[in-house]
Amino acid sequence: MKSQTPSSKFQRNPKLQAPNPDSEGCIRAHRFGAWDLELLWNLELGIWSFLRLAILLLLAAAPAFAAPALQTRHVLLVMADGVRWQEVFTGAEEQLISKEFGGVTKTNDIRKEFWRATPEARREALMPFFWGTLAKQGQLYGNQHKGSTAHVTNGKNFSYPGYSEILCGFSDPRIDSNAKKPNANVTVLEWLNGKPAFAGRVAAFGNWDVIPYILNRERSRLPIWTGFEKTDPKLNAHWAMLEKLVADHTPTWGTMMTYDTFIHAAALEHLKTKRPRLMYVCYGEPDEWAHLGRYDHYLQATHHFDRFVGELWAASQADPEMRGRTSLLLVTDHGRGTSNASWKNHGANIADSRFIWMGALGPDTPALGERTNVPTVTQNQIAPTAAALLGLDYKAEQPQAGPVLVDALPKITR
């Protein structure tokens, strides 16, 4: 039978004597231990509750487009002034390939270049990039023959109101002329350029001398090139050289605008060397040739526009940083009339000129092609969609802006 006496170790050192379980000190220690465990348990529960609440608050406050992550890091917003949806979707119009209605003298040449037996073949001849790449890999809106309608919301159906609606995301009834008045509204370009992640990575190129006013150059401080600037060759030799070419060619439209090829050359070089996060490019020739009643030049300018867009896209996909990370948005500022006479003009008095077309292409846009039997889309959706492609909620800070093009960017839910 083992001894029940304390071990010799405790006997030798009184300080190490085992405490009496019934002693006051042991009772206090026992009570403290239980309270301590309860405190720790409650504290742990409190921490987990706090973490759960914090996570819920973060999820509630996070933008809807925070997840899943978008692949787009660069957006090209490209516009053609006054190109009708009819030519985009059905190609050249036969009655206008004439001297009487379209001012065309070399009708055989134009027919050879752009006339085909079917609307599908005609549109591919006129706009091969649109129908060979955009309509296959992206989305194209506005073919009313197939249940897709796109229109402006400004009710004016001419340039300044349309440009502003595209770039600001809403129409402004105060804008009722093409006068050179600084835009009181902040565009999506200026809005993005004001954010640290995009500062200095936004630029605009446009073939119209009113564009600097639409973008409010003095306030926005955006780099804007129209061909009539006086660039110091030490700062940008390419722009300075192009400005000399603009000044040296025989002017067609005075100092209001130049040829689109100069705008394209400046924009393409900027894309290749600066890799902008958002670049706006506007080609203006189609509208001016239409106003002059030259349907042949209108078709050729539209054909050039298609090629220019293809070259911008090709350059973005050839660049390691931009390849697979660039989205393209395409739009026009207004439509035109539909008769043999009214095709030359547009405005509030020509109801059909409110109808436009829009396109989207990029890694975050499903390849749904030519849209058919879909809800109407509007011009004021372009700016919020451009911002959304870059992961930002433009409408949260600009509530009057239109909604994001949901089908073009299904990762964004609103």
Say yes or no: 315 and 218 in one domain: yes
Give the Cα separation of 331 and 239 in Å (integer): 26
Question: Is 201 within the bounds of a domain?
Answer: yes
* Model confidence pLDDT, tens digit, residues 211-254: 999 999 999 999 999 999 999 999 999 999 999 999 999 889 99
Measured between alpha carbons, how far is 413 from 157 in angstroms, rounded to an integer?
A: 30
44 and 176: one domain?
A: no
Q: pLDDT class for 45, splitting at 50, 70, 90? A: low
Q: Are 81 and 162 found together in one domain? A: yes
Q: Are residues 173 and 274 in the same domain?
A: yes
The angle subtended at Cα 380 by Cα 361 and Cα 167, nearest 5°, is 80
89 and 27 in one domain?
A: no
Same domain, 128 and 41: no
Averaged over 171-179, what is the pLDDT? Answer: 98
Sign of CA dihedral 250, 255, 261, 263: positive
In a domain, 252, yes or no: yes
DSSP one-letter string for 57-107 = HHHHHS-GGGSSPP---EEEEEEETT--HHHHHH---GGGSSHHHH--S-H
Whether residue 77 is found in the same domain as residue 30: no
CATH no. for residue 183?
Answer: 3.40.720.10
Tell me, yes or no, whether 409 lies in a domain.
Answer: no
Query: What does the pLDDT read at residue 46?
Result: 59
Domain span at residue 87? 68-397
Q: How many distinct structural domains can be found in the chain?
A: 2
- What lies within 8 Å, CB to CB, of 189 at 6+ separation is 167, 202, 204, 215, 220, 222, 278, 280
- In-domain check, residue 131: yes
Choosing from 45, 61, 77, the residue where a domain stops is 61
> Could you tell me if residue 75 is inside a domain?
yes
Is 145 within a domain? yes
Q: What is the mean pLDDT of residues 105-129?
A: 98
11 domain residue, yes or no = no
pTM, two decimals, is 0.84
Instruction: Indicate if 31 and 80 belong to the same structural domain.
Output: no
pLDDT in tens, 77-105: 999 999 999 999 999 999 999 999 999 99
Binned at pLDDT 50, 70 and 90, residue 7 comes out as very low
Does residue 410 form part of some domain? no
Task: Looking at the structure, tell me whether residues 246 and 348 fall in a common domain.
Answer: yes
Distance CA 165, CA 187 (A): 9
Check whether residue 34 and residue 123 sit in a common domain: no
Whether residue 53 is found in the same domain as residue 134: no
For residue 276, pLDDT over 60 is answered with: yes
Q: Are residues 36 and 171 in the same domain?
A: no
Least confident piece of the model among 21-25, 107-111, 148-152: 21-25
What local confidence, expressed as pLDDT, does residue 411 receive? Answer: 73
